[in-house]
Structure 1
Amino acid sequence: MSTLRPQPAPPPEPARGGERGFARALLRTAELDPGDGRRVLLAALWSCCLLTTNYTLRPLRDAMAVSGGVDQLHWMFTATFVAVLVAVPVYGLAVARLDRARLGALVHRSFALNLIVFFALMRGWLGDTPALELWTARVFFVWTSVFNLLVISLFWSVMSDLFSGGEARRTFGVIALGGSVGALLGPALGGSLALSVGPAWLTLVGAALLEIGRWSMAKLAAEPRPDSPEARGTEGKVESPPADDGPIGGSPLAGLAEVLRSPRLMALCAYVLLMTAASTVLYCVQARLVVLNFTDEATRTAAFAAVDLATNALTVTAQGLLTGRLIRRLGLRWTLAVLPLACLAGFVALALGPTLTVAFTVQAGRRCLNYAFARPGREVLYTSVERSPRYKAKSFIDTVVYRGGDALSGWAFAGLEGAGLQLATVAAITAPVCGIWALIAWRLGAAVDESATRG
């Protein structure tokens, strides 16, 4: 086996602006390597902007979903799935034809323009009839669901493009921490603005944050990669250089074929499908309980914002101190399995006591574990595949599979309710699904860990 010759240590460089103070503290606390700081901070800033936008809009979306009719949630999930089926080929065409910088600008600015249109609708500038308000609420629910998946999918596709496998295991938890900081800021903004100036203004905040996120992406892409040790794997082996940033080419619909050719991606599809089944049932149970406890849109928006705020306070601590350590020391099998195991316990608790407090607690725990562990763990998987699947297969899984699971689960929930089953019974039926999900998570993570050990 060939070995690498030891390289002389480079002379110390003056600290750049991005490597001062906070960056050095970040390196020590999160166990990052020298040279990680500036790139991680730029990636975390981009993530922060996206998640601040998402969580600023989420309470408004959830409140408008209730206003659009809780009995219509399964139809809104179906409409979201149809919208995803339209959006994914368009996104695939953009991936095939545009370089990374132009793709990022198109995605960010298109969604920002949409938000400005929603602002005009919500302010009544285009009409204020009850029918228009109802359909604005329903369209906004569908739009935010598609927006959230596409921009986050793009973000992590670029991360897997710019960071190697060894770097990803070390840094993705801290990068996701930037998103959790945004997820703390978002509910605070959403709750305060909804009660002070009105929910419509949240859309303009989101549009401004998307432009800052686009700038962060451009700066990150221009940042040079360190020569050593960041370009090396965990066992000292030099890893492949990062892919170029040009257009990928190929068919806009290649994502499905790439998934079908890869057993690992197929297993990831099953993981995501069962994850969405659990989260959608929990969302519907929570929505039912909210209707029973709150009567007006502003109070509902503030309540959802309070839950998000508490959730992300926990997530920040976990991502900053635990995510990277868990991935490196316990491997992906535990990183991926912790979420379904927690959801299994949560649905058992709901089956025993289906109250709003229990639902909010389970929802907070689920979101915390997803963002702190499951999401970074899933994204590490994509660093080991070619560049095309990072964008096309990933967007297919993150959108079509994800929202398809939403739609199927929404209809299943409606069917169970229609059959006269109580919320506690629905929760009891969902618990075994989480057990199957945990088994798939363990086997998927174990396969990746074994591949990394052999490599």
Structure 2
Amino acid sequence: MATPLVIRPGSPESSPGKGWLDRSLSVFAPVEAKEGASAILLAANVFLLLAAYYVLKTVRESLILTEGGAEVKSYAAAGQAFLLLLIVPAYGAFASKVNRIRLITWVTLFFISHLVVFYLVGAAGVRVGVAFFLWVGIFNVLVIAQFWAFANDIYTQEQGKRLFAIVGVGSSLGAWGGALLAGRLFSILGPYQLMLLGAAMLGGCILVSQAVNLRESAAADSPGPQTAREPLGKEGGFQLVWRNRYLRLIAVLIVLLNVVNTTGEFLLGKLVVLESDRVIGAAADAENLKRAFIGQFYGDFFGWVNLLGLLFQLLLVSRLFQYIGVRGALFILPCLALGGYGLLLTFPLLGAVRIVKILENSTDYSIQNTARHALFLPTSREAKYKAQAAIDTFFWRAGDMLQAGVVFFGTRAALDISGFAGLNLVFVTLWLLVVAFLYREHKRLTHAPA
């Protein structure tokens, strides 16, 4: 009996109308005919967005650590959650009144205007470290959640599972390039002129978003060209989360993930400050020298994180989604964190913390990040924009708030690096348990075979 021919998605046989771009991208993911251009535009969009964020993140680390220290950084992060209690409902109300491209354009312009203000105030000599830290923490979670909501809205569930790996390459490449750029330019331009560079990149994001929206809205076979011109429903983001078990599990996942990650960031920041004190000492102009030392350290650190993240995104994400699926990929990061913080129980040194955080963050920004956003593919448009914005902003920062409590009580209990690593292992165990529940719920929601 003859063996039947199996035509796989993304192969030339399955899409005879594929152009050169579609065929080229098929090396990395199964791309169908006429999908390549929008995937590249979305990748360019998130490239600019992440490049801007990592330039501003490097500025943020330098300002907050020299003006306040690692403890103040942790406590300031908790304040973002309280601010988001006001910002998330306001964002949802605005989203109910405008279509998706106006939402993206006006929210991005809102943040660009703030960068100009920070530049003027900081250049005048005002200490803006804490305020800028709070602002960056709200900016990055909101605009990135908004971008992925846009991508989820454009693609069907089947398309998203195939094409998010390519879009995520832009995210990883932008994060790497932004960190590298910040590390090279920090000593030349200083923190405040880098803010203006970030504002210019965000202006580019608006233009690319407009191009993607026009292309997809005009396409006859687009998943929902008519809905692109319609505002969202009236239900708020928090309401959507409270009423849906699947969304609640994602919210808890985000809280635990961020507690683990930011506790690790606290350990790294504390050791970096101690190292800058040891290297610089009480030299003349010590504050500026320490600021430059910390800025260069984080520029190099973020560069390694995002180089590895880019390689993981290019070589692993699409293949992992193909073989173990979106929900299976959710287990990778907590298992890696379990081993990493177990290592820190024995080797609580700056070099060890740096290696653990490079591996943890690079996996987070590639495999975990793409899988996390793909979880919203089978949800409603309201959930994509409003619930995802609530989860990726408030619940993300709620993790910061919980982590600030960990730092507060841990510091008063005189915990050392190993002690904080032990606490993180407890949170990683809870994280794995939530992933197991989410795995089952995602399977039910997508009607996947057992």
Decide: shared fold, TM above 0.5. yes
Tell me how far apart the structure 1 counterparts of residues 303 and 73 of structure 2 sit (CA, whole Å): 24
Measure the CA separation in 2 of the matches of 1:10 and 1:36. 11
2:27 and 2:155 map into 1 onto residues whose CA distance is 20
Residues 119, 200 of structure 1: 8 Å contact kept = yes
One-letter amino acid of the counterpart of residue 52, structure 2: T
Please list the CA deviations of residues 281-309 of structure 1 after superposition, one character each: whole Å capped at 9, or x if unmatched. 11111111011111410110111010111
Deviation at 1:447, TM superposition (A): 3.1
Q: What residue in structure 2 maps to residue 353 of structure 1?
A: 347
Cα deviation for residue 396 of structure 1 reads 1.0
- The question of 1:116 aligning with 2:100 is answered no
Structure 1 counterpart of 2:85, which letter?
Answer: L
Equivalent positions of 1:267-282 (< 5 A) are 267-282=249-264
Cα offset, 1:450, TM superposition: 4.9
- Give percent identity, aligned residues only: 25
Pick from 126, 135, 143 the counterpart of residue 143 of structure 1.
Answer: 135
Match of 2:362 in 1: 368
Deviations 1:97-128 (A, max 9, x none): 1111111111111111111111112211xxx2
1:321 and 1:226 mapped to 2: Cα distance?
A: 33
Equivalence map 1:152-231=2 (5 Å): 152-224=144-216
Letter in 1 for 2:49: L
Change (3 A) 1:86 1:29: same
Please state how far the C-alpha of 1:12 moved relative to its aligned partner.
4.9
Q: 2:217·2:228 contact (CA, 8 Å) conserved in 1?
A: no
Tell me if structure 2 keeps the 8 A contact 1:331–1:445: no
Q: Which residue of 1 aligns with 2:5?
A: none
Change (3 A) 1:33 1:291: same
Verify the 8 A CA contact 1:333 1:442 in the aligned structure 2: no
What's the TM-score, normalizing by structure 1?
Answer: 0.88
Q: What RMSD in Å do the two structures reach over aligned CA positions?
A: 2.3
Residues 1:224 and 1:105: Cα distance change in structure 2 (over 3 Å)? closer
Mean alpha-carbon deviation: is it higher for 345-354 or for 29-38? 29-38
In 2, the alpha carbon distance for the partners of 1:68 and 1:53 equals 22
* 2:377 match: secondary structure: helix
CA distance in 2, matches of 1:429, 1:318: 28
Compared CA separation, residues 329 and 195, structure 1 to 2 (3 A): same
Inter-partner Cα distance in structure 2 for 1:375 and 1:46: 16
What are the ranges of 5 or more consecutive residues in structure 2 without an aligned counterpart?
Answer: 1-12, 278-289
Seen in structure 2, the aligned counterparts of structure 1 residues 369 and 10 have a Cα distance that, compared at 3 Å, is closer
Inter-partner Cα distance in structure 2 for 1:205 and 1:45: 17
* CA spacing shift, 1:282–1:454, aligned 2, 3 Å: closer
Q: Determine the structure 2 residue equivalent to 1:235.
A: none
Counterpart AA for 1:76: A
Q: Which among 287, 312, 320 is matched to residue 318 of structure 1?
A: 312
Query: Is 1:423 aligned to residue 423 of structure 2?
Result: no
From 431, 434, 449, the counterpart of 1:437: 431
Structure 2 CA distance, aligned partners of 1:75 and 1:10?
53
- 1:243–1:387 contact (8 Å) kept in structure 2: no
Q: Which moved more, 1:205-214 or 1:24-33?
A: 24-33
Structure 2 CA distance for partners of 1:242 and 1:438, relative to 1, 3 Å? farther
Map 1:18-417; keep pairs closer than 5 Å.
20=21, 24-70=23-69, 71-124=71-124, 128=125, 132-133=126-127, 136-224=128-216, 243-251=227-235, 254-295=236-277, 296-417=290-411
Q: Normalized against structure 2, the TM-score is what?
A: 0.89
Check conservation: 2:16, 2:33, Cα contact below 8 A: no
C-alpha deviation, 1:226, in angstroms: 11
Check conservation: 1:348, 1:428, Cα contact below 8 A. Answer: yes
Q: Determine helix, strand or coil for the equivalent of 1:223.
A: helix
Please report how far the alpha carbon of residue 417 of structure 1 lies from its aligned counterpart in structure 2 after TM superposition.
1.1
Report deviation, 1:449: 3.4
- Between the two proteins, the alignment pairs up a number of residues equal to 424
Partner of 1:198: helix, strand, or coil?
A: helix
